[in-house]
Structure 1
Amino acid sequence: MYGIGVMSGTSLDGLDIVCIDLVAYEKNKEITLVASKTVDYEMNFKEQLSEQCHNHTASLAKITMMNAYLGQFIGEQVIQFLREQQLLVEKVAFISSHGQTIFHEPVGAEGIFEIPSTLQIGDISYISEVTRLPVIGDFRTADMAAGGQGAPLLSFFDANFLYSSSAGRAIQNIGGIGNVTFVSKDEKAPVISFDTGPGNVLIDSAIQKLTNGEKKFDQNGEMARKGTIHEQIVEQLMQHPYYEMPLPKTTGRELYTTHYLNEIVNEMKGASTEDILATLTAYTVETIKQSYGRYLPLEQIDEIYINGGGSLNGYLMELLKQAFPTKKVAPLDGLGVPAVWKEAIAFALFGYNTMLGIPNQLPSATGARREVVMGKVAYCDGNPLMRFQKLRGET
């Protein structure tokens, strides 16, 4: 019995697909990765997605159609993935898809109609129609309806699977956006989780802009390593009010926009591409460092584990080790969870909880009033729960 997890992150670089063994999970709570794949987005597709994330380029018509198209695309990619990996569709209990976040407003505005809200596209009915499988998605809205910020959701996974009685751990995700979960070695201590700021979103956008699309990301941080960090720019960027907001707090691409990046590049006019990349990499590290000092019991952190694309950036990892010289800083792989696949794995497990009606978020992290079961289910071929129960041998 398999569960498929699908993740499309803030960086808009591609679609992560994983297959986990649900039998192993049910028996021993063991996370067994059966297969995994990343589908890179073509530049034109990425540009079309990016347009729908910004007020000045988005439109109702394009958002609606992209919602349908992305759902169809995800369905087709999952079917291809199953064929490539020679996995039987009949053994797949469900597909759990995060979707692509194009808008996230965790606080709301002043108008009576302007309440906290979020929007992920990649319609689950289209995925179900293409795959003829049950599909779970639209996770964040249930948490927000209960007064939460709809993020960070991975704190639930971190608290349940990465706890250690011998070490306090900070689990730092560096995807498009950076977020951290602090899991104390004191099992009774509250879990603290929030978005630290930009992860790779500015670095990736900058290298694409400055190389005219020739490079999608800074491989291993090699270009940034050759540059000089402009410390005054980093200090200036750290003055943004987000970094002093009280918890709970989350952020996203709606803050770190193309306009925001252009302002930084213009401020560094005359600097080399390498200098700009080095400065943006240092900015990401500084947001993490200052966030830990402001919101976390730093003295209780023994180990810092990095997941997401940032774990593959050697230069960024070096700067993190320099920022926390007395802590162990390492990729999450050291704990047995593949750093680059963690998010997709987590959403597969969230989908499992949804099917069983088990809460799958952490109110202490999101700010919700209570535990809720996140996720909506689409199944174009009948009763998803009945199918799930049959695979589990219940009927």
Structure 2
Amino acid sequence: MDEARIAIGLMSGTSADGIDAVLVRTDGVRAPRVLADLHLPYPEDLHRRILALYQPGENEIDRLGVLHRELGGRFAEAALRVCQRGGLSIERVAVIGSHGQTVRHRPPDFTLQIADPFVIAARTGVVTVADFRPADLARGGEGAPLVPLFHQVLFARPGQRVAVVNLGGIANVTALAGDDRAPLIAGDTGPANTLLDLLATRLNGGARAVDRNGDAARRGRVDDEALAWLMAHPYLARPFPKSTGREAFGSELLERFLTIFPHLAGDDGFATLTRFTVESVVEAACRLLPPYPERMILCGGGARNPALVAGMAHRLPLARIADAEDLGVDVSTLEAQAFAWFAVRTLRGLTSSVTGATGAEMPAVLGAIHPVTVGQV
């Protein structure tokens, strides 16, 4: 590949379960070649301290400052480990792209990701690109979702309506119309795993938990009244492009849900919340790719939840539902790959944001470059 470089991508999603790290070779234009990957889990205490920053609280600025630096060290550790796993010296890495850990996302006012990139650059000795979202906000966008351009490179097929759905904490859809003349449109659809994980953790006495394999959802029954209440959430009616986060679909919403429907603090709650994810994603995909997408490609942790996958297939019987791994793409590292790819684009002065995904007035070269000291004046 022309101008191909070795790059590392680092990502932690809204579930805040750990850091995804990937070592790739890429020119920032074509799909990257993955050389190694790993997941570095957060300890339970760190996980809880991150989640505590999602909502305003006592002494939050001091807590944020401490975590910003601490996470910078953990992200640096993940970069060094993935390089070691790939059998390469860190000196061969041209750039690290670090998304960081989102703790607040409140466009149009601000979006905030932590994990100090100065610490990452200092501890690895590698130029680090971070803070990818603010450049888009400065141009009137929401700073999210950013991965649609990467989705287009990986999954666009001429003449085929393809919906690429990322099922992380929050779900987002990229609409690939199969026509080069059609604008690329994307946005967050609502929750994917966030409410499910919060309910599982609540029922586990506050210790981190998930509905593994969707077992509880498959045992339960959907409560139609509760589903209608969830589907009336005002965010779902907003036009695309749009973005959201735990501020709208987090612990506060779950508590209101369980206050109104206390009988759903169990399997029926998992079934109802799972259907909420399915319905909100399918409704958005069909709105963007009418009458329905011919192919839906699932990415993110939710792509491994059989209850979610079966729900999508049931709602879209004429669409081909595929896991990104069916197409040779590792769903667990896709977003980390994207930020390695973006970092190379940043070094090359190429734009990475998509106006039809974020609502910005124009595309932007994303991220701030944090150099390393190579000598003294």
With normalisation by structure 1, the TM-score equals 0.90
Deviation, 1:215, is 5.5
Aligned to 1:236: 229
SS at match of 1:208: helix
Q: Give SS of 2:82's match.
A: helix
Say which of 156, 160, 170 aligns to 1:167. Answer: 160
Could you say if the C-alpha distance between residues 339 and 57 of structure 1 is closer, same or farther in structure 2, counting changes exceeding 3 Å? Answer: farther
Report if aligned partners of 1:225, 1:278 keep a CA contact under 8 Å in 2.
yes
Aligned residue pairs total 371
Q: Conserved in 2, the CA contact under 8 Å of 1:54 and 1:257?
A: no
Q: 1:77-226 counterparts in 2 under 5 A?
A: 77-107=78-108, 116-213=109-206, 216-226=209-219
Tell me the alpha carbon deviations over residues 200-231 of structure 1, each in whole angstroms, 9 at most, x when there is no partner. Answer: 11111111111225562222111211111112
Give the distance between the partners of 1:330 and 1:213, measured in 2 at CA.
34
Distance across 2 between alignment mates of 1:10 and 1:255: 12
> Residues of 1 paired with 2:125 and 2:38: CA distance?
21
- The answer as to 2:364 corresponding to 1:372 is yes
Contact kept, 8 Å, 2:76 with 2:119, in 1: the verdict is yes
Deviation string 1:227-286 (CA, Å, 9 cap, x unpaired) is 111121111011111111122211011112212212222333234522111111111111
Counterpart in the other structure of 1:327: 319
Q: Partner residue of 1:31?
A: 32
Deviating more after overlay: 218-227 vs 354-363: 218-227
Where 1:204 maps in the other structure, the secondary structure is: helix
SS class of match (2:8): strand
Residue ranges of structure 2 left out of the alignment (5+ in a row): none
Residue of structure 2 equivalent to 1:59: 60
Alpha-carbon offset, residue 300 of structure 1: 5.8
Give the TM-score, by structure 2 length. 0.94
Q: Distance in 1 between matches of 2:149 and 2:337?
A: 12
Deviation at 1:55, TM superposition (A): 1.2
Cα 1:356–1:250 change in 2 (3 A) is: same
> Deviation per CA, 1:14-61, whole angstroms, max 9, x where unpaired?
110011123xx47x9342111111111121111100111101356111
Corresponding position of 2:47:
46
Q: 1:311 — aligned with what?
A: 303
CA distance in 1, matches of 2:371, 2:73: 14
Q: Which residue of 2 aligns with 1:359?
A: 351
2:262 is aligned to: 269
Letter in 2 for 1:233: A
Question: 4+ runs of 1 displaced by more than 4 Å?
Answer: none
Q: Which amino acid aligns with 2:269?
A: I
Match of 1:16 in 2: 20
Q: 1:51 to 1:364 in 2, by over 3 A?
A: same
The 1-side partners of 2:58 and 2:272 are apart by 28
User: Deviation of residue 181 (structure 1)?
Assistant: 0.6
CA contact (8 A) 2:175 2:285 kept: no
Name the structure 1 match of 2:336: 344
Deviation at 1:381, TM superposition (A): 2.0
Question: What's the counterpart of residue 70 of structure 2?
Answer: 69
Contact 2:258–2:265 under 8 Å retained in 1 = no
Q: Percent identity, aligned pairs only?
A: 33
Give the RMSD, CA atoms, in angstroms.
1.7
CA distance in 2, matches of 1:239, 1:365: 23
Supply the distance in 2 between the matched residues of 1:221 and 1:18 (Cα, whole angstroms).
27
Structure 1 position 191, deviation (Å): 1.2
